[in-house]
């Protein structure tokens, strides 16, 4: 197969389930995408990430351009070969990470210049350079180069930033060119302003993309404001293309986003919190470092089939976290990513069966029971 396609298979209310077909494999939607920032999902072997059920993972233009550089990865056969992951990879375009990580940033119409947070070296990112880096990496899904303003921000700042991102979206589209088998996603901006988001959606639709991201959220606005924006933002985007909500989120954020028409999400939370001893379960969150677990022979989650829950007790997990043993982050990261993928599979099945409302009710009822 040399082409890509998105097929909607069922809807239930605004929730949708479908598939994105690419030459490197199929992505079942709604999909959760683990984040592999520096060519690794931290504390996980690629085979383990695949075993959790992930169909796709994320990489970061910003991190990989600084170290080991996109040119080196290209010379070594591309990111898939480099990190031993042969399924699809989506890469973010770098602007968001520059604004959150780099030093001495300078933003102009052309792009951004900045100093590396690693060694202070000077760099420039533009829509054209971002497309070139993502091509060198071999990304299956390429993100437009955009600017994501930190919230809160006044309306004029949000409007100005969104319009810059739309000009950058056109330049990204022009620089990406015609690449059968690869997808380019536009990124909607506009903060929490419905009319600015509509303007952004129309600008992206006129340019034309293989998928559309809802950007500019999960930047401190809180769940209520995010859901308020998701009441209208997904519906402003083309119905026949994938809709990707960037940087989200906690399990209840994810269920609420799918309910409102989102098809793809990514977040560092399950892997990052796994390394700090925070387990996400169907009954809520468990801090395994809490002393109450030190004699508990039960698994994290009696109903979970991941290696951590099948083979280890809470007492053991508590011990290896207290002892700062490497296996601690491995086991809890595996559990969290497994749980996230189970949640996505449960939603895909519920939407296909027209039972999403019941799924959502059960999801919240289990968490309300407490006693975890």
Between CA 55 and CA 341 the distance in angstroms is 10
Among 191, 216, 242, 329, binds ligand APQ (CB under 6 A): 216
Between CA 20 and CA 25 the distance in angstroms is 8
What DSSP state is assigned to residue 35? B
Closer CB to ligand APQ, residue 32 or residue 359? 32
For the bound state, the minimum distance from the C-beta of residue 92 to ligand APQ, rounded and expressed in Å, comes to 4
Among 56, 58, 70, 257, binds ligand APQ (CB under 6 A): 58
For the bound state, the minimum distance from the C-beta of residue 117 to ligand APQ, rounded and expressed in Å, comes to 15
Between CA 257 and CA 264 the distance in angstroms is 9
Closer CB to ligand APQ, residue 51 or residue 151? 151
Binding of ligand APQ at residue 187 (CB under 6 A)?
Answer: yes
Cα angle 98, 54, 67; round to 5 = 30
Binding of ligand APQ at residue 176 (CB under 6 A)?
Answer: no
Residue 266 annotated to the active site: yes
Q: What distance, in Å, lies between the first and last C-alpha atoms of the chain?
A: 46
Q: Are 282 and 339 in contact (CB under 8 A)?
A: yes
CB within 8 A of 167, min separation 6: which ones?
A: 109
For the bound state, the minimum distance from the C-beta of residue 327 to ligand APQ, rounded and expressed in Å, comes to 26
Binding of ligand APQ at residue 96 (CB under 6 A)?
Answer: yes
Q: Are 191 and 149 in contact (CB under 8 A)?
A: yes
Catalytic residue from among 140, 263, 266, 301: 266
Binding of ligand APQ at residue 230 (CB under 6 A)?
Answer: no
131-160: contacts with ligand APQ (CB under 6 A): 143, 146, 148
Between CA 83 and CA 70 the distance in angstroms is 13
- Active-site residues, by number, are 92, 266
Q: Give the residues lining the site for ligand APQ (CB under 6 A).
A: 35, 58, 60, 92-93, 95-96, 143, 146, 148, 187, 215-219, 246-247, 266
């Amino acid at each position: 197969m040399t082409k890509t396609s998105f097929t909607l298979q069922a809807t239930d209310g605004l929730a949708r389930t479908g598939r994105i077909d690419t030459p490197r494999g199929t992505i079942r939607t709604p999909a959760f995408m683990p984040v592999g920032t520096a060519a690794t999902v931290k504390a996980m072997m690629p085979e383990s990430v695949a075993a959790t059920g992930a169909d796709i993972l994320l990489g970061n233009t910003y991190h990989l351009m600084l170290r080991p550089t996109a040119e080196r990865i290209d010379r070594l056969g591309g990111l898939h070969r480099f990190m031993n992951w042969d399924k699809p990879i989506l890469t973010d375009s770098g602007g968001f990470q520059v604004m959150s990580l780099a030093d001495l940033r300078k933003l102009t119409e052309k792009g951004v210049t900045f100093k590396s947070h690693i060694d202070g070296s000077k760099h420039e990112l533009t829509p054209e350079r971002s497309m070139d880096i993502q091509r060198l990496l071999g990304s299956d899904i390429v993100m437009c180069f955009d600017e994501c303003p930190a919230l809160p921000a006044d309306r004029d700042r949000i409007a100005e930033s969104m319009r810059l991102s739309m000009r950058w979206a056109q330049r990204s589209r022009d620089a990406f060119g015609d690449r059968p088998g690869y997808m380019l996603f536009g990124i909607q901006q506009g903060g929490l302003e419905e009319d600015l988001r509509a303007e952004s959606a129309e600008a992206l639709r006129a340019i034309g993309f293989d998928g559309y991201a809802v950007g500019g959220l999960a930047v401190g606005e809180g769940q209520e404001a995010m859901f308020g924006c998701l009441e209208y933002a997904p519906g402003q985007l083309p119905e026949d293309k994938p809709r990707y909500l960037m940087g989200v989120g906690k399990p209840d954020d994810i269920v609420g986003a799918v309910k409102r028409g989102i098809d793809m999400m990514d977040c560092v939370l399950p892997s990052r919190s796994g390394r700090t001893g925070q387990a996400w379960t169907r009954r809520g969150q468990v801090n395994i470092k809490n002393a109450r677990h030190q004699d508990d022979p039960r698994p994290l989650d009696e109903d979970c089939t991941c290696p951590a829950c099948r083979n280890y007790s809470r007492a053991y997990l508590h011990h290896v976290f207290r002892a700062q043993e490497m296996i601690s982050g491995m086991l809890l990261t595996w559990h969290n990513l497994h749980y996230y993928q189970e949640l996505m599979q449960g939603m895909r099945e519920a939407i296909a069966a027209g039972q999403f409302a019941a799924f959502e009710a059960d999801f919240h009822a289990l968490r309300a029971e407490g006693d975890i």
